[in-house]
Structure 1
Amino acid sequence: MPFTAKHLATEPSRAEIDALADPTVLEFGTPWCSHCQAAQPLIEQALQDHPEIAHTKVEDGKGRPLGRSYGVKLWPTLVFLRGGNEVARLVRPQSVQAIEEALGALSR
């Protein structure tokens, strides 16, 4: 599943995320966040050669339990998961290279 342009309508539970078997990039942010908007082309480009990696966009904000469970404080925050476990994290990525390096942690 390649790049996902829209945020999920309903936030998944932490148990659902922890149960993921496939490598996943969990992206926390909002549609109106300028940092999130600026990062979208970078994320899309980095993921284009990785169709085996799921990309899940979660709208975050005050009182949202999934983001709080990951300690998200700034947007976008990318959490790289393998077998439901965090193997890398990027906050406000500035380059495709930084995202690709974190994607590399999913194949180790």
Structure 2
Amino acid sequence: MKNAKPVANSKKIKVLGNKNFKTVTRRGVVLVDFWAPWCGPCKIIAPVLNDIADSEDNVTVAKVNVDQQQPLAKKFKVRNIPTLVVLKDGVEMHRFVGVKTKRAIMKEVNALMAS
């Protein structure tokens, strides 16, 4: 499964690893989805994340495959997936575990944008 593709159809979703994580997350609001190809709930939330990536210009959506990027998953203490981490200028501001609606996710993202 080394080359497993993220469950994402949006071309705007960034695939993160150790090499590009800091660069992508250091500025602005970034919603990072920690996922795995075998995870059913990850597949359920994928369309929500695709929608956010395609329709919301104020947030960058990114994915981290926990099977391929175990050091990142460990650094963020990901114990369950999907875990969505909201970063602002590289700092974790909020975290969701499990499947969430677009409305719930964007409520938190928009609150961060206003702060």
| Range into which the TM-score falls when normalised by the shorter chain | 0.7 to 0.9
Count of aligned residue pairs for this structure pair: 105
Letter of the 2:100 counterpart: Q
Q: Give unmatched runs, 5+ long, in structure 1.
A: none
1:37 aligns with 2:43: yes
Q: Where do 4+ consecutive residues of structure 1 move more than 6 Å?
A: none
Counterpart of 1:102 (choices 95, 99, 108) is: 108
Deviation at 1:13, TM superposition (A): 5.5
Normalised by the length of structure 1, the TM-score is 0.77
SS of 1:106 mapped into structure 2: helix
Query: How is 1:1-108 mapped onto 2 (pairs within 5 angstroms)?
Result: 3-4=12-13, 7-8=15-16, 11-12=17-18, 16=22, 20-61=26-67, 64-107=70-113, 108=115
Alpha-carbon RMSD across the aligned residues, in angstroms, is 2.9
Normalised by the length of structure 2, the TM-score is 0.73
Deviation at 1:19, TM superposition (A): 6.4
Please identify which structure carries the higher helix content: 2
> CA 1:82/1:89 → structure 2, altered by over 3 Å: closer, same or farther?
same
Separation in 2 of the partners of 1:62 and 1:15?
13
Letter of the 1:24 counterpart: V
Identity %: 25
Separation in 1 of the partners of 2:51 and 2:18?
25
